[in-house]
Amino acid sequence: MASIGIPANQAPKTNYLNNGHSLKSWLLTTDHKRIALLYLISVTVFFFLGGFFAMLIRLELLTPQGDLMQADTYNKVFTMHGMIMVFFFLIPVVPAVLGNFLVPLMIGAKDLAFPRINLLSWYLYITAGVLFLHCMLTGGVDTGWTFYTPYSTAGSNTNVVEAGISVFIAGFSSIFTGLNFIVTIHRMRAPGLTWDRLPLFIWANYATSLIMILGTPVIAITVVLVAVERLFHLGIFDPRLGGDPLLFQHLFWFYSHPAVYIMILPSMGVVSELVACFARKRIFGYKFVALSSIAIAVFGFLVWAHHMFVAGISLYAAMIFSFLSFSVGVPSAVKVFNWTATLYKGSISYATPMLYAFGFIGLFTIGGLTGLMLATIGIDVHVTDTYFVVAHFHYVMVGGVLMGYLGGLHFWWPKISGRMYPEGWAKLSALLVFVGFNLTFFPQFILGYVGMPRRYWQYPPEFQVLNVLSTAGASVLAVGYLLPMIYLFWSLRYGPIADANPWNAAGLEWKTTSPPPTFNFDETPVVTWEAYNYDEIPQKELEAPVAR
Amino acid sequence: MHDSQTTTVEHEAHNPALLHHFADAQQQKNAASLGMWLFLVTEIMFFGGMFCAYLVYRLAHFNAFAAGSQQLSIWMGATNTAVLIVSSVTVVLAVKAAEAGKRKLLVGYLVVTVLLGMTFLTVKGFEYREKFEKHHVPGPTFKFTDTFDDNGKQIPVNPKEAQLFFSLYFVMTGMHALHMIIGCGLFSVLAVLAWKGHYTPGYFTPIENAGLYWHLVDIIWIYLFPLLYLISRHS
């Protein structure tokens, strides 16, 4: 074991992990840290399930003709991939795993404000997940993750109602998480921890929670209306019965566009923490970064109709929504520029979390800029429903959200598990993820721009080279994702013991032991310093506690 | 108790209602009421989706919506409005009784509230029965032959558009009734707990928060009643 700055014997005899070993002590726990681990396990299961469907898609698209599956199966496969990844992975992943673990720790609280509601959230998530698995095993759904009417209400003969109910239930899991975070951040902060001393991860989760409680109820009622229409043959969205399918799209995107900010904002919060720690500097323009999260949440609610430029909304409305969509670029750019400015004259080290943070900044920038292209009505009309759109949102969702999540998971892994991960393997997997990701999705920008439509199981032969590149990249990416699962699991037993603060990072979560005791702090901390006071914290050899 | 802060809150250390992770009862109460208000926000957004659909379709199919609206029983709707307003008063009185520590009075008001809620649901049931009898329930048996009265001129109405009105009527009042049923269950539980003496002048947050929920469900009806029953009536 490598030398460790602070003696390892600081680890308490009882911490949240060994405080009770029975199954009941896990399944009925109200400890936010244990619930975070329950979420960690369940979202990982869904991630690999969604990834399995992604591999099926890429395998089918390896050749121009449909040889692995036919159209009906393909429709179901991409629908399963989308629904699992959106509703059961991307939306809960950072708030429910890292947020659940860190929000009380970062604000010096003993737990979230409503620990039992927190547990209820996880059970709702699991109920929704089991229901969705049942739906998948009994035939699946083929509407695409968007449930567009009238196909979902009158056309599809798959199990739309069950999928809708499961999305409805998963939504309430998300609402309760958001509600819990907002109340906790308002009411449970340690003495002295004012709003302008909060870590940016907290600000980001606060903004996310606002979207969760304001947006999610709308998707809930929308899927209820779809289910009711399907079950009782009402005409709420069916044009043949006087309904309006556009209304469905408005209601759907009113949630589902802000939902992409539910996904990306917490990862942005993670990156703010990582950049400050590994550049050893207070984040540049703290207040702007903090308020840009709120601004993204607010603007995020005003742009939904940019998904509908070709759906038949008026040109006037389209122009307004185009303009508003551009305005989201401002707070997003504030973040990117401020992270970059933080790096300037920082003393940067390249531990794995920082590699992921760099990956996030670069890939999110590409994803964000292509988002501005798509906000331009003319370009959007040209590339609507092509692989350009697919590549764009995967750059934000996978290149952004997932990079931030993996960076955060590595960064806080010593706090979560009390062990260090193997740095060499971690760097290798970060490299594989970055290379594999770009190889998978960059060709799709080109494919889309030259006209390959999304959601088809076959394509003209001239698109094959780029599709083969994309499938090859997906294989590299899969290895990059499997590696962390293996070595993180390995490190639980064999990783070097981590001390309380292996990165010498600022933040209250590092002031308690690793892993923390059940009630987080032996004494409620009193905060007298600003966030990211790295000029007051001496830098230690970051490589030291890391296994070689 | 795992509470390291007991020194500062000694007088509260033995409060059985205080959960371990709060510093004191005031923090717990503030957290609970903020949580309840946020939950009410989500309820408003939930019903907001339906109000949005109602608005869009009312503008698109005004004649059918006006003619459909004429078919609702204004007397039953008005009775239910009165019942709900009275029940909101009894909820306020229940909170006052809890504050004053009058246990029996509290239980009494809670029980009256539940009874008023059930009265509402019963009347609603009779209204739904009337819709069945008139074939105004959307579906294969739906019939609508009434006309839109445009200053004495009778304009025929597309039954499909009228069916849309009744679809929204059933979804909106049905979702509201579901909230009423949950509210009645909630208040029944509170009445039992209050009878057992769970609530004291120092701790009656659940009564207050359940009251907030009841008021919101009440307010939603205050909007549903004019939207569905009143605003299209000319005579």
- Over residues A95-146, the pLDDT tens digits come to 999 999 999 999 999 999 999 999 999 999 999 999 999 999 999 999 999 9
Q: Which of A115, A221, A228 is nearest residue B49 as measured by Cβ atoms? A: A221
pTM tops 0.80, yes or no: yes
Q: Which of B45, B64, B167 is nearest residue A217 as measured by Cβ atoms? A: B45
Across B161-165, B186-190, B201-205, the highest mean pLDDT is recorded for: B186-190
Q: Which of B48, B56, B140 is nearest residue A218 as measured by Cβ atoms? A: B48
Contact A244 B56 (CB under 8 A): yes
Confidence (pLDDT) at B7? 40
Considering only CB atoms, which chain B residues are within 8 Å of A117?
Answer: 35
R_g over Cα of chain B: 23
Q: Which of A217, A236, A522 is nearest residue B46 as measured by Cβ atoms? A: A217
d(CA A530, CA A449): 47
d(CA B7, CA B4): 8
Place B151 in a pLDDT band, splitting at 50, 70 and 90: confident
What separation, in Å, do the N-terminal and C-terminal C-alpha atoms of chain A show? 9
Task: Say whether the peptide bond before residue A150 is cis (omega within 30 degrees of 0).
Answer: yes
B22-230 folds as Four Helix Bundle (Hemerythrin (Met), subunit A) (1.20.120)
Confidence (pLDDT) at A13? 65
Considering only CB atoms, which chain A residues are within 8 Å of B167?
Answer: 228, 234-236
DSSP code, position B150: E
Cβ atoms within 10 Å of A90's Cβ, excluding its own: 26
Tokens describing residue B160: 């499909």
Residues in B whose CB is inside 8 Å of some CB of A read 2, 4-5, 19-23, 27, 30-31, 34-35, 38-39, 41-43, 45-50, 52-53, 56-57, 60-61, 64, 138-140, 158, 160-161, 163-164, 167-168, 171, 175
For residue B149, what are the β-bridge partners?
B154
- In total, the C-beta contacts within 8 angstroms joining chain A to chain B are 124
Distance from CA of A16 to the nearest CA of B (A): 13
**Which contiguous run of DSSP H or E holds residue A159?**
none
- The domains located in chain A, with CATH, are 28-536 (1.20.210.10)
DSSP code, position A13: S
**Following DSSP, what letter does each residue of A440-504 receive, concatenated?**
HHHHHHHHHHTTPBSS-S---GGGHHHHHHHHHHHHHHHHHHHHHHHHHHHHHHHSPBP-S-TT-
Q: Phi-psi category of A345—alpha, beta or left, where left has phi over 0 and alpha has psi -120 to 50?
A: left
Q: Which of A218, A234, A241 is nearest residue B49 as measured by Cβ atoms? A: A218
Distance from CA of A88 to the nearest CA of B (A): 21
Regions of chain A short of the pLDDT cut 70:
1-13, 539-548
Cβ atoms within 10 Å of B48's Cβ, excluding its own: 16
* Planar angle of CA A382, A50, A67, nearest 5 degrees: 70
The residue ranking higher by pLDDT, A276 or B17, is: A276
Whether A117 and A182 have beta carbons less than 8 Å apart is answered as: no
Cβ atoms within 10 Å of A435's Cβ, excluding its own: 14
Closest CA to A373 of A393, A351, A402: A393
Q: What is the mean pLDDT of residues B85-92?
A: 97
Confidence (pLDDT) at B14? 57
- Which segments within chain B are labelled E, that is strand? 147-150, 153-156
ipTM for the predicted complex: 0.90
Contact B5 A524 (CB under 8 A): yes
Cβ atoms within 10 Å of B234's Cβ, excluding its own: 8
Tens digits of per-residue pLDDT, B32-73? 999 999 999 999 999 999 999 999 999 999 999 999 999 999
In 3-state terms, what secondary structure has residue B147?
A: strand
Considering only CB atoms, which chain B residues are within 8 Å of A241?
Answer: 160, 163-164
Residue for token pair 């709420």? A236
Nearest CA in chain B to A112: B21
